[in-house]
Every structure is written in structure tokens, then in C-alpha cells.
Amino acid sequence: PKTDIVFLKVHKSASSTVMNILFRFGETHNLSFAFPLGGGYQLYYPHHFLARFVQGFSPQSPRRFNILCHHMRFLQPEVQKVVPSSAVYFSILRNPVQLMESSFVYYKGASAFSRVRSLEEFLSQPYRYYNPASGDRHYARNLMTFDFGFNPDGDVSHERVQLMLKAIEASFDFLLISEYFDESMVLLKEMLCWDLDSVVSFPLNSRDSSTKSPLPDSVVEKLKAWNRLDWEIYTHFNRTFWERIDRAIGRERMRREVRALRQRQAELARTCLQGTGSVAPKDIKDSSLRPLQHGGARILGYNLKQGLGGELERTCRRLVTPELQYSSFLYKKQFPPQPP
């Protein structure tokens, strides 16, 4: 199994669920994480990543960490200073239409969104609300492009787009697609030589459907045009995702593997969870399992069954522990507080 991993956690793309998978694998195999200084949750995002943002990094010592997966704005030469040269690089993408709809609800406080009532209103005259010089502009335009380290207001000419796509291909071993999450997990398992249980998950940091609304076609087209760079990234890597599957796995085996993954997840849900699945934040009984609530979204969580024993309780709890709590727990384990 591959144990040296760089995961670029792209916003609002099921990346918290992938992070949970990496946390669990790292914990089980006693691997080290490149944590933000002081145990924070982001590597000085939205600034480009620098090695010195990592707790325990020093230019003098050749220490390398197994897994880098906290939010960062990608900059490969700096990333290479903190992980082994053998590291596998991957990320996950989401259709920019749904991504922006999600971003609008989640980052409602961002300067570009704060004065509009709806995404339609924003897209009717985006430059009235959007300021390319503001520090939080990236939440409102080409968010994936920004996370990969590029300029979200950059040139959309064919040449520039091709350069960007080639640069991403040169840095990343593969990219997953959140709309095909189960297929993505099978591909991840294949690429990292992991077993099935390592890639099972329950959706984390997902929001209540009451805040989701379908967008009219006219808005969808405006949205694609406004997020043109993201759209180019998504359509290109959606295509290469299926090409990779055909090459590495084949559609027939993929169907079998997805079925096995879903059966295992259903079995774990029956074993671990009260009720049928995720619940509203107010209904989460164990406060340590309550996810961070942000913006206008209601982020769902889970209740564990009572009376789960020892190892089983641990397995179930890890599957539903929100990102911030799990990250803090692993940070304290890796950097135990010094006694006074």
C-alpha cells in the first residue's frame, strides 16, 4: 500500500469525506501528517502553500511527512520540501455549476456575495459585486482554479487553458470526480493499492437539502461562462477520469467493485448508525460529533448506536468524526502537549 500522499483538498467537492479516509488510514498505519502550525485547520490558505506553514518543518532537518491533506493553495516546489519524493499526488473535482451553488450558500459572508439575495442576482451583473482585488474573491469565481494555484481571473484563451491543464497533469497522478464518488473511491483504492475497508466512508460536511435549489438553464450557462477556467478543468479531467478507469480497471470490474463498496457501506451504516443516516445538527446527541456550521448551510452529522463495544465503537466513531475534531485529535497524538 502507498503511504506517502499529497491530497489537494479542493473546497466543496466531497473533500472532507476524502480527508476522513486519509485520517483513518494514517491513524491505522501510524503515519505522520503535515499539520498546519499550532494545529490549525488550514495551511495559511488562501496564500500559496509554503513549507514553513507546517508544524515540525525545518529547512535544516530533512524530516518528511507521510500525508499532506489540509486546505492549501497548491505550490508544488514548496510541497516537495515536506513530503517524500515518492508521494502520490491526487485531488477531487466537482461540476462548477453545483460547486458555485454550494459555495454561494456556504460562503454567503464573502464580500462578493454579501450584498446579493441570490446567485441569479450575482450573475446578472457580477462585476457590480465582485472585486478582483479583494482577499476572498476566490470563493466567488473559479474556486478550483484558485486552489490549484492559478489566477481565477486569468486569461481564458485556448493556449492559456492548455498550459494550465498540462501543468495540473504534470503535478498530479490522478484526479477524482465527486459526482462519481464511489467510482472515484474504487480508483483511489486501485491507485494506492489499498483494501476496500480503507476507502469506505459516510458523507461528511454535506448540507441539508432544504437549502439546495435547482438553477434555471439561463443561470447555468452564465455560471459556466463566469467560471470558465473551472469548467475547462472539470470537463478535461472528467474525460481523463473515465479513460483511466477503462485502462486500469475496466467498466465491468468497476461495476462489481462499486457494488461491493456500497454493500460494505450499507453494512457499516446498519452496524454503526442510529436511524437511517445523517441528521440535522440539532439532532446530534454527542456534541463531539457535531460538525462546524458555516454560512447559510446546515451541515449534517450522525448519531452512533449505543452500546457498541471496544474496537467496533472506535471504527464507527472514526467514520463519523467531523474533520476539525479528527484533525485536532491526530495533531495532539503526533505532537503531544509538553508537561509544564
Nearest to 105 by CA among 211, 231, 11, 252: 211
Cell of 47: 496564500
Judge whether 319 and 289 are in contact, CB under 8 Å.
no
Range 156-163 average pLDDT:
98
Spatial distance between the Cα atoms of 329 and 42, rounded to a whole number of angstroms? 15
Find the helix packing angle between 310-320 and 15-28, rounded to 10°: 150
Question: What's the chain's average pLDDT?
Answer: 94
Question: Residue 211: which pLDDT band, with cuts at 50, 70 and 90?
Answer: low
Q: Output helix, strand, coil percentages for the chain, rounded to the nearest 5.
A: 50, 10, 40
Please classify residue 18 by burial: count the beta carbons closer than 10 Å to its beta carbon, then call 0-12 exposed, 13-18 middle and 19+ buried.
buried
Q: What is the pLDDT of residue 292?
A: 86
The type of residue at 102 is S
Nearest to 86 by CA among 173, 208, 175: 173
| 136, pLDDT greater than 80 | yes
Residue located via cell numbers 464507527: 316
Q: How many residues does the chain have?
A: 340
Domains of the chain: 5-334 (3.40.50)
Spatial distance between the Cα atoms of 88 and 260, rounded to a whole number of angstroms? 25
Give the residue, 14 or 187, on which the prediction is more confident. 187
Judge whether 123 and 226 are in contact, CB under 8 Å.
yes
Question: What string of DSSP letters covers 79-122?
Answer: HTTTS-TT-EEEEEE--HHHHHHHHHHHTTTSTTTTT-SSHHHH
Backbone φ, ψ for residue 276 (5° rounding) = -100, -10
Question: Residue 142: which pLDDT band, with cuts at 50, 70 and 90?
Answer: very high
pLDDT (tens digit per residue) in 252-286: 999 999 999 999 999 999 999 998 789 988 999 99
Residue located via cell numbers 469525506: 17
Reported pTM: 0.95
Distances (CA, A) of 263 to 199, 200, 258, 271, 298: 13, 10, 9, 12, 28
Handedness of CA 190, 193, 195, 199 (dihedral sign): negative
Name the least confident of 118-127, 186-195, 233-242, 295-304.
295-304
Spatial distance between the Cα atoms of 149 and 143, rounded to a whole number of angstroms? 10
Cell of 286: 454527542
